[in-house]
Amino acid sequence: MEAPHNKSSFSFGTLEANTPLILEALDAWGIGSWIETVRRHHGGTYRHSLLVTGFAVAFAQKLKMRPKDQQRIAHAALLHDVGKSFIPIDILDKPGKLTDDEMELIRKHPRYGYDLLTQQGGFPVEILDCVLHHHELLDGSGYPDHLRAAQIADLVRIITIADIFSALVEDRPYRQSLPPMKAFGIMEDMGNKLDGDLLNAFRPVVEDTA
């Protein structure tokens, strides 16, 4: 069953503005087929992936990245949650707190996605790195490999920021969406878990959506 439609008043202008780049990215390496797999399995994850891509590309543009690097960002963001196509829908849509076993399964989705794309072949190493490590945090408290600081690539850090922000401003089965600046404040309170310089650079993207 598809997740409920996002009912928040949040503007999707950032996503719409970057639609041409996103559509171009969908043509690369069979990305479109995998995103369609995600869409068919769970509409909420599909919409989240598109929103993360919109924010990540807007972030890349604020950072004045080259068009080629913006494409890399789009590719990584579109694919970051492909592993959730292996997670049961009743867990993805659970309105209450997850059990320890359910959380353990959720935490396997980066590895599932990485293994899936590695088996297909043809995906650049940096894209696979984002799929596997987008839930890593600089203090080592993330998953699945508990990487720290210098072990986490800049591209991964960018996807992580866009991913967390998108999750906070979306409606989820267990909570309503948050206003953009409140979501950003929560991220600032995460301290040394996120790259502080990159988070500060992300503020204009947030302000554009508020």
- Is residue 7 classed as helix, strand or coil in its secondary structure? coil
Q: Among 10-14, 64-68, 125-129, 150-154, whose mean pLDDT is lowest?
A: 10-14
Q: Report d(CA 67, CA 101) in Å as an integer.
A: 42
pLDDT, averaged across the chain = 86
CA distances from 93 to 74, 145, 154, 191 (A): 26, 25, 31, 29
pLDDT tens digits, 69-106: 988 999 899 999 999 999 999 999 999 899 999 999 99
Q: Report d(CA 20, CA 64) in Å as an integer.
A: 18
Q: Among 29-33, 93-97, 138-142, 168-172, whose mean pLDDT is lowest?
A: 29-33
User: For 107-132, what is the mean pLDDT?
Assistant: 94
Nearest 10 degrees: CA dihedral of 58, 64, 69, 70? 20
pLDDT at 146: 98
Q: Report d(CA 88, CA 105) in Å as an integer.
A: 9
CB contact at 8 A, 34 and 79: yes
Sorted by sequence, the CB contacts under 8 Å of residue 206 that are 6+ apart come out as 165, 180, 181, 183, 184
pLDDT at 29: 54
Q: Which of 143, 138, 194 lies closest to 164 in space, CA to CA?
A: 194
CB contact at 8 A, 38 and 45: yes
pLDDT tens digits, 39-51: 788 888 988 998 8
- Structural fold of domain 28-209: Hypothetical protein af1432 (1.10.3210)
C-alpha atoms less than 13 angstroms from C-alpha of 205 in its C-beta half-sphere? 31
Q: How do the domains of the chain map onto residue ranges?
A: 28-209
Q: Report d(CA 209, CA 11) in Å as an integer.
A: 6
Sorted by sequence, the CB contacts under 8 Å of residue 104 that are 6+ apart come out as none
Q: Which of 25, 129, 17, 35 lies closest to 67 in space, CA to CA?
A: 25
pLDDT at 138: 98
Q: Report d(CA 70, CA 25) in Å as an integer.
A: 10
Asked if residue 8 has pLDDT above 90, the reply is no
**Comparing 122 with 60, which gets the higher pLDDT?**
60
